[in-house]
Amino acid sequence: MGVTRIRRFAGRSKCACRAGVGSASGHQARRAAPPPAGRFQQFSSPTAVGQSRFPTPGRYGGKMRARPITFRRKALGRNYGPLSRTQYGLLRRACHPSFAIQRQPKMLPTPISTTPFPQSHVAANQSSRPFDAVKDPTCTYARASSGGRLLPFEVTYYLPVAESPDCVALRNACAGTGLEISNRPHMQRRLQSVLFPEAWIVSPGENVADSAHYQRSHKAITDTFTDEECRAITKWTDVENAYTADLNTALSHYTATGQKTWIQDPDNMELGLDVLVEERMLTGVLAKLPQCRSRTLRIAHVTDPQFTDVYPGKIYPGQLASNYPRFMSTSGHRIQNDDVLDAFDGSKDENAVVYEFIATSGKPLGEELNEADAEEKEFLFHPSCVFMLAATAKAVPAQDGASTRVAAIYVEVAGHDARQVRNLYTGEFPPRR
């Protein structure tokens, strides 16, 4: 009898070892081991209660305190040994008819990727964002129009995080542009020069358009323009008419609705101009002009506060943006126009957003195409140009006499569709028909 028990015990130990329990006895292994995955779940759903072959509690009667020791789960097709009291209690509760009515469906947890972080959580965990916010509450700037009085600002710099995936693409895009993405003091100085464009300068050899060689090539190419191309670019550079605003508005309307509109001809008020023809003429001008490396500025005066929250609310360092479907002009000259600078002094109810573009697709118009080029140094960009935001900053005045300023430094990138990225002014995607 003793030998028989030893053999049975050894056999059970062998099964327990196969199950990964170790050297424990078979009886202890079956009591401690959890039920196989997927076996016990079919009896926990309300739909499977009626299909279960487990005996109902009424067949045993009483509280059944001794039954769990001898009851075997033959309904599963195999003999897994006796159930523990805890397992049998769960089984009894799952098989009870009233439990199927009282039980509520289990709610799946929301994926972490779609759960928005609370603002306090994001502020406390800077590493969860692809950019870092660095504050400088002691930034001051003196304007000549303010009598040399220092204007205090609280500046917040939004710089890329070196560990983020967007920073890798940004570092490749900034190669050869002079931007040191990993050098934060350098990026802060660059952003300050954009925030206060009165002191923004371009070194003599930075814009290739200033070289004599490029100017000779530029003049030779402009002589090959057709009459329609010359007429279109002349109307674009004329500040006395509404050709520029009407053309960009018509292009935006056509992109959103597919309806072509006519714009007014400044030379003949009784005639209209086809917006698609004008777009094709300006595209032909830009295609003929030679490419050159440039660093230029563009200033936008905004009255709606939501436009100052685009950075970094909708566009942050490492993201792509464009001006599609509009043409865009920038300036390679220091801002000296008092009408433009009045918005920075708080004399108007406007805020200023200053953009710096480091690109190769901007084409300088020159004196041959723009009579006021000596003051403007205008560069024209096609709507298909795509840029990547390198860094941004926001300066809030600490007292009256100045306006809120936002700076954004963009680097041009190739190989992207301008229709699939955000607009650099609004932060929204272009409308799709």
**DSSP per residue, 411-424:** EEESS--GGGSEET
pLDDT at 120 over 50: no
Tell me which of 192-201, 230-239, 312-321 is least confident.
Answer: 192-201
Q: What is the DSSP letter of 394?
A: E
Higher pLDDT, 345 or 405: 405
Mean predicted confidence (pLDDT) in 108-120? 33
Q: What is the DSSP string of 303-370?
A: -SGGGGGHHHHT--TT-EEE-TTS-EEEE-S----HHHHGGGGTSSS-EEEEEEEEESSPEE-HHHH-
- Mean pLDDT of the chain, nearest integer: 74
pLDDT at 188 over 80: yes
Mean predicted confidence (pLDDT) in 186-196? 91
Question: With pLDDT > 90 as the criterion, what percentage of the chain qualifies?
Answer: 35
pLDDT of residue 9: 39
pLDDT class for 429, splitting at 50, 70, 90? very high
pLDDT tens sequence across 415-428: 999 999 999 999 99
Task: Tell me the residue ranges of DSSP E strands in 86-171.
Answer: 131-142, 150-160
Higher pLDDT, 212 or 14: 212
Higher pLDDT, 284 or 74: 284
Determine the Cα–Cα distance for residues 85 and 67; give it in Å rounded to an integer.
Answer: 9
Higher pLDDT, 344 or 368: 368
pLDDT of residue 268: 81
Nearby residues of 116 by Cβ (< 8 Å), 6 or more positions away = none
pLDDT of residue 79: 47
- pTM exceeds cut of 0.75: no
Nearby residues of 240 by Cβ (< 8 Å), 6 or more positions away = none
